[in-house]
Amino acid sequence: MEQVRIGVIGLGMGFSHAKTLAEGKIHGASLAAVCDIQASKQEMAKTALPDGVKVWGDAKAMMSSGEIDAVIIATPHYEHPKEAIFAFEQGLHVLIEKPAGVHTKQVQEMNKVAAESGKVYSIMYNQRCNPLYQKLRELIASGELGEIRRTNWIVTHWYRSQSYYDSGGWRATWAGEGGGVLINQSPHQLDLWQWTTGLMPIRMRAFCSFGKYRNIEVEDDVTAYVEYANGATGVFITTTGEAPGTNRFEVTGERGKIVIENDKLTFWRLRVSETEFNQEFKGGFGEPECWKCEIPVFGNNPQHSGIMQNFTDAILKGTPLIAPGEEGIHGLTLSNAMHLSTWTDNWVNIPFDEDLYYEHLQERIKKSTYQKTVIETGPVDMTTTFG
């Protein structure tokens, strides 16, 4: 294969991906087809995309047509595993939008089918392309920070107005979206939290507020406390109801502290480790000598294009994936655990009871009386969604 023929399902967020492919920005890939169930978006695609791009209204028909080699799935969250499984069964390579799904039970099944298919399987964790987080991961993995003792992430810059939530019938509902800020805005941070540190919590206590700032039924304000196997602890705070917001990720270890904020990576590095200083220091008051280092970070973040190019290269050249699809379950595990801890008003051990989570979710879907007037919007502008 010299050229990967890609189809895109879902022309909200997916329209941006379709345009990138149509403009020839992904080497080795071409846009062969697009699909959306809305007739208005089908007509928009026919007008905005090149004549050779086939427009479908039936995703299964497109995937089984033999006219594409790979698919990008950018539909509402519940559909990701269903459509990915069907795609794998048709022999297609798959790139799914985040999150991997709504609950880990359905993602486990998707991961199993993906592994059996032998096809390339990736997830749109485009923030893994960000040199800031790549550098943080490198510093931690190399031992520069020593053993991690604490992680704190305040990510409250995801401001969303009521009009945003009113723009789609599936948004901010248990049946349509399966969650709020944790499932829609913060999956990137939930992924980076564990990807950069190499740590997954062993237990969690979380407090989610549902419809605190907006007329929605899902969570729009979250504070979670986690504990790790090595004794480290962490806090994760997120909301869509604060302005101005903050995006500050702080990781403390034996050899100092690293902070990412305002597109800068700062390392407060101890000359000797805290453990060593504590063992040897004999004075009354004192602390290790500390150097403030502004760590140089080189390169730009190619965002979604970076993941799409990597996905294409993996198909054509066997290039290792930046964001393997099976890793999508890690961030989802964290968000599911936060929900479950709140719903049960208790600690949740990780891994948690997936059946219990599913039961609670179904209960909320069944009891939902949420009604809203939907103001449907067109293609999504992805250039302003990250901070």
| Backbone phi and psi for residue 215, each to the nearest 5 degrees, phi listed first | -80, 75
Question: Do 354 and 231 reside in the same domain of the chain?
Answer: yes
Tens digit of pLDDT for each residue in 26-69?
Answer: 999 999 999 999 999 999 999 999 999 999 999 999 999 999 99
Q: How many residues does the chain have?
A: 387
Tens digit of pLDDT for each residue in 265-276?
Answer: 999 999 999 999
pLDDT above 90 for 73: yes
In this structure, is residue 374 part of a structural domain? no
Question: Do 91 and 160 reside in the same domain of the chain?
Answer: no
Report the alpha-carbon distance of residue 113 to residue 377 in Å, rounded.
Answer: 34
Question: Do 178 and 159 reside in the same domain of the chain?
Answer: yes
Q: Which pLDDT does position 169 carry in this prediction?
A: 74
193 within 8 A of 213, measured Cβ to Cβ? no
Task: For residue 94, give every residue at least 6 positions away whose Cβ sits within 8 Å of its Cβ, in sequence order, or none.
Answer: 70, 71, 73, 84, 87, 88, 114, 119, 120, 121, 122, 325
Question: Two tokens at 168?
Answer: 């789609």
pLDDT band per the 50, 70, 90 thresholds, residue 1: confident
In this structure, is residue 376 part of a structural domain? no
* C-alpha closest to that of 44 among 76, 12, 5: 12
Question: Do 38 and 182 reside in the same domain of the chain?
Answer: no
Question: Do 225 and 262 reside in the same domain of the chain?
Answer: yes
In this structure, is residue 194 part of a structural domain? yes
Total Cβ atoms within 10 A of residue 75: 22
In this structure, is residue 66 part of a structural domain? yes
In this structure, is residue 373 part of a structural domain? no
CATH number at residue 91: 3.40.50.720
pLDDT band per the 50, 70, 90 thresholds, residue 380: low
Tens digit of pLDDT for each residue in 117-128?
Answer: 999 999 999 999
Question: Do 287 and 309 reside in the same domain of the chain?
Answer: no
pLDDT above 60 for 189: yes
Q: What percent of the chain has pLDDT over 90?
A: 92
348 within 8 A of 198, measured Cβ to Cβ? no
Question: Do 101 and 217 reside in the same domain of the chain?
Answer: no
Report the alpha-carbon distance of residue 154 to residue 167 in Å, rounded.
Answer: 27
Q: Which residue has the tokens 């979710």?
A: 361
Q: Which pLDDT does position 368 carry in this prediction?
A: 87
Tens digit of pLDDT for each residue in 315-340?
Answer: 999 999 999 999 999 999 999 999 99
In this structure, is residue 382 part of a structural domain? no
Q: Which structural domain, as residue segments, surrounds residue 175?
A: 128-298+331-367
Q: Which pLDDT does position 387 carry in this prediction?
A: 41
Secondary structure of 116-138 in the HEC alphabet? HHCCCEEECCHHHHCHHHHHHHH
The mean of the pLDDT values for the chain is 95
11, 337, 384 from 381: Cα distances, Å: 11, 31, 7
In this structure, is residue 162 part of a structural domain? yes
102 within 8 A of 179, measured Cβ to Cβ? yes
Mean pLDDT along residues 234-263: 98
Q: Which pLDDT does position 371 carry in this prediction?
A: 59
Tens digit of pLDDT for each residue in 116-158?
Answer: 999 999 999 999 999 999 999 999 999 999 999 999 999 999 9
CATH number at residue 166: 3.30.360.10
In this structure, is residue 63 part of a structural domain? yes
57 within 8 A of 44, measured Cβ to Cβ? no
Question: Two tokens at 59?
Answer: 């995703």
pLDDT band per the 50, 70, 90 thresholds, residue 378: low
Question: Do 177 and 306 reside in the same domain of the chain?
Answer: no
Report the alpha-carbon distance of residue 343 to residue 160 in Å, rounded.
Answer: 24
Question: Do 78 and 204 reside in the same domain of the chain?
Answer: no
Question: Do 199 and 348 reside in the same domain of the chain?
Answer: yes
Total Cβ atoms within 10 A of residue 120: 25
Domain count, the chain: 2
Question: Do 143 and 16 reside in the same domain of the chain?
Answer: no
Question: Do 343 and 201 reside in the same domain of the chain?
Answer: yes
Q: Is 247 helix (H, G, I), strand (E, B) or coil?
A: strand
Mean pLDDT along residues 218-222: 98
pLDDT band per the 50, 70, 90 thresholds, residue 386: very low
